[in-house]
Amino acid sequence: MSVEQRYTGPPPATGTQNLADILERVLDKGIVIAGDIQVNLLDIELLTVKLRLVIASVDKAREIGIDWWQSDPFLSEHSRLLANENRALKERVESLESSLGLEPDETRSVEERTTVDARRDEG
């Protein structure tokens, strides 16, 4: 049966695959095996198509403040690692500062700054 029949409210959700759906999967997913022809899809310029797919939409998502996937456990693992790295770096800076006899700066973590900057950009 066709997917369209399931939907009552407009606009109709579709079971048809659009180009973005196909490129997203075919170019970016699937098993990677070194063939005889080496193609690094990322290096190829019109894969501005790909870049548009990925980068433009992320910028847009930030711009409109939608980054809910950051709360996804798979992805937030990455930000947790970054936060730990921040903390370690901050400690190193502070110990360097104190060994040089400098007053520790009112140091905010990079993460905090990024959040502030992102807010400013949105505004």
74 binds another protein (CB under 8 A): yes
> Residues with Cβ < 8 Å from 63, sequence gap 6 or more?
121, 122
| Alpha carbon distances (Å) from 67 to 20, 62, 79, 106 | 20, 6, 13, 28
For another protein, the closer of residues 19 and 100 by Cβ is: 19
- 37: three-class secondary structure by DSSP: coil
89 binds another protein (CB under 8 A): no
Binding site for another protein (CB under 8 A): 3, 6-11, 13-27, 29-39, 41, 44-47, 49, 52-54, 56-58, 60-61, 64-66, 68-69, 71-72, 74-75
